[in-house]
Amino acid sequence: MDRRDFLQFAGAGLGALLLPVYGRAIAAEELLTTVDVATKKRLADAALEAAKADGATYCDVRIGRYLRQFVVTREDRVENVVNTESSGVGIRVIANGTWGFAATSDTTTAGVAKAARQAVTIAKANSRLQAKPVELAPVKGVGEVSWKTPIEKNSMAVPIKDKVDLLLAVNAAAMKAGASFINSTLFLVNEQKYFASTDGSYIDQDVHRIWAPMTVTAVDKESGKFRIRQGLSDPRGMGFEYLTPKAADKVTLPGGAVVYGNSYDMVEDAVAAARQAKEKLKARSVKPGKYDLMLDPSHLWLTIHESVGHPLELDRVLGYEANYAGTSFATLDKWKEKFQYGSEKVTLFADKIQPTSLGAVGYDDEGVKTQRWDLVSKGKLVNYQVIRDQAHILGLKESQGCCYADSWSSVQFQRMANVSLAPGEDKLSPADMIKDIENGIYIIGDGSFSIDQQRYNAQFGGQLFYEIKNGKVTEMIEDVAYQIRTPEFWNACTAVCDKSDYRMGGSFFDGKGQPGQVSAVSHGSSTARFNGINVINTARSLG
């Protein structure tokens, strides 16, 4: 996960506007327009024909328009409002059994035909260095179809003034509740993607995402101490309806902390964040040792992301990411022997279909219909995440639909699907779960995270830590991080709450590849218990 792009952008200035990943800045009303499907089909056909005429045995065309809006505030002021657009066409071909790719912002039929021919030329040139020809799992053409994120309220249609008013109300509430500082942001995304291929598919998709992060800081000048509590919202594949709080989506956890499901009360969370940031200043420092951890879904998503989502990406397993993100401990021999990845309580599934998730789309970026499949079934490793040119390695007849490119100008490759922990089958609530824990820590919200290049050794922090003694939350504690070895950690899972507790977290910025690309992905779970996990104390003194 790489938030550096976002942080750089939030810094604003003329330089920030030049970051190519975010495209050109546009006026707000342009965020509402879409390009006519017939025009896109005409362009796509021009590219497909040009590629075939030059000898491509396969071609896909992605016509993309990527819209983003940022509203950045602190305390009583707006720091920045930016709308950006990036549009163009990416063309991928197979010629002489080798991939070739070219992209252009020239969206004329002549422009895309030229790019298609360039892609074929590159494929032919690279075929000299190709050890084995590309083996592509078949996909049946679906004709002309469309898919849209089922949003209730298009975020791009909400006036900027309403967004600014919301954030400033959030900030005022936090300051009134005792925060020293607050930074709050709205980050809205609309990907308008048209995919066409020589398989006979013409797929028009309209994908929406929303994220409303905030950082609340409490400073105690006298002691020189400061503490941060980040918002407990999650980025979602939703429209602006996510920010209209519904009582049914609010969850009060044992000990009193409040978390959210399919809608988010940002003002209420800002008040809680201010109070809890101040409480953190005075909280007792944790005694290091072994604890039973009770991990809320607002926290557990990131542990799933790092210790399950990444090691089960097949390109990492094979070695294609060795120079950057690394390889994986979950090698093919482990898969063949049904390696005990976790305890019997642990079933981890991948999908690109969960409603409101960041990964949800109708079809992936190589025209494969999305689906759900198990990665770890009752503890045993049973599958990976693959795309069309990897399916044959596992003996699969079709791709699972994990292909994604973060821009029209980036080549699509295997990216993480949503990867989630299946809820427990027996009825169990967090209130039931805590009753049996004698010496534990309850962790809510994601914090610092780090994992090695084969995804064995990881360390995670959090936002809120509560000591559990003899079945009850006693007090807030601080300076907590836990260290795991992935298989031991998942084998230490002794209970998972039922589906009524299932919630999602996620990331807008999962980084991979060279040159780097980002993708957005969700991870769902119910609260889960892990026994005897190593907790360290992270407090240090600078003298």
Partner 1 sequence: MGIFTEQEAKTILDKVIKLSKADECSASLSGSITGNIRYALNSVSTSGIVDDTQLAVQVAFGKRVGAATINEFDDASLEKVVRRAEELARLAPENPEFMPAIEKQEYKPSETFSAKTAAITPDYRAEVAAACIEPCKKDKLVAAGFLSDNQSFTAIANSKGNWGYQKSAGVDFTCTVRTDDGRGSGWVARNLRDVEAFDAKKEIAIAMDKAKRSAEAKALEPGKYTVILEPAASAGLISFMMFGFDARQSDEGRSFLSKKGGGNKLGEKLFDERVTIYSDPWDKDAAVVPWDLQNDGLPRERLDIINKGKVEYLQYSRYWAEQKKKKANGLPGNLIMLGGDKSTAELVKSTKKGILVTRTWYIRLVDPQTVLLTGLTRDGTFYIEDGEIKHPIKNFRFNESPVIMLNNIEELGKPVRVGDDESPFVMMIPPMKIRDFTFTSLSDAV
Please give the residues from 121 up to 160 whose contact with partner 1 meets the rule CB under 8 A: 122, 125-126, 129-131, 160
Q: Is the peptide bond before 355 cis (omega within 30 degrees of 0)?
A: no
Any contact of residue 290 with partner 1 (CB under 8 A)? no
Closest CB to partner 1 among residues 11, 289: 11
Stretch that binds partner 1, among 120-128, 239-247, 354-362, 436-444 (CB under 8 A): 120-128
Any contact of residue 35 with partner 1 (CB under 8 A)? no
* Helical pair 266-282 and 160-176, crossing angle rounded to 10 deg: 30
**Of residues 33, 39, 146, 448, which one binds partner 1 by CB under 8 A?**
448
Which are the contacts of 537, defined by CB distance < 8 A and separation ≥ 6? Answer: 285, 286, 287, 288, 479, 480
Any contact of residue 324 with partner 1 (CB under 8 A)? yes
Residues 93-112 that bind partner 1 (CB under 8 A): 99, 101, 105
Closest CB to partner 1 among residues 23, 430: 23
Q: Is the peptide bond before 297 cis (omega within 30 degrees of 0)?
A: no
Any contact of residue 264 with partner 1 (CB under 8 A)? no
**Of residues 109, 371, 454, 494, which one binds partner 1 by CB under 8 A?**
454
Any contact of residue 332 with partner 1 (CB under 8 A)? no
Residues 167-196 that bind partner 1 (CB under 8 A): 180-181
* Residue 515: CB minimum distance to partner 1, A: 6
Residues 48-87 that bind partner 1 (CB under 8 A): 77-79, 81-82, 84
* Residue 534: CB minimum distance to partner 1, A: 8
- Does residue 310 contact residue 327 with C-beta atoms inside 8 Å? no
First to last CA, the chain: 33
Which are the contacts of 438, defined by CB distance < 8 A and separation ≥ 6? Answer: 292, 469, 470, 471
**Of residues 5, 26, 35, 393, which one binds partner 1 by CB under 8 A?**
26
Any contact of residue 343 with partner 1 (CB under 8 A)? no
Closest CB to partner 1 among residues 248, 541: 541
Closest CB to partner 1 among residues 90, 255: 90
Give the sign of the dihedral formed by CA 232, CA 238, CA 240, CA 246.
negative
* Pair type for strands 480-485 and 380-381: unpaired
**Of residues 145, 318, 332, 393, which one binds partner 1 by CB under 8 A?**
318
Residues 210-249 that bind partner 1 (CB under 8 A): 217, 219-228
Closest by CA position to 500, among listed 300, 342, 297: 297
**Of residues 296, 321, 406, 501, which one binds partner 1 by CB under 8 A?**
321
Which are the contacts of 424, defined by CB distance < 8 A and separation ≥ 6? Answer: 345, 495, 496, 497, 498, 526
Number of residues that bind partner 1 (CB under 8 A): 83
Closest by CA position to 264, among listed 288, 282, 240: 240
* Residue 169: CB minimum distance to partner 1, A: 14
Two tokens, residue 380: 């045993």
**Of residues 28, 172, 175, 382, which one binds partner 1 by CB under 8 A?**
28
Rounded distance between C-alpha atoms, residue 475 and residue 441, angstroms: 10
* Residue 191: CB minimum distance to partner 1, A: 19
* Residue 521: CB minimum distance to partner 1, A: 18
* Residue 175: CB minimum distance to partner 1, A: 13
Residues 426-445 that bind partner 1 (CB under 8 A): none
* Residue 157: CB minimum distance to partner 1, A: 16
- Does residue 288 contact residue 481 with C-beta atoms inside 8 Å? no
Pure H helices in 319-411: 332-336
**b (16+ CB within 10 A) / e for 63-91:** bbbbbbbbbbbbbeeeebbbbbbbbbbbb
In 10 A of CB 287, how many CB atoms? Answer: 11
* Residue 408: CB minimum distance to partner 1, A: 12
Residue 377 bridge partners (DSSP): 380
Closest CB to partner 1 among residues 163, 503: 163
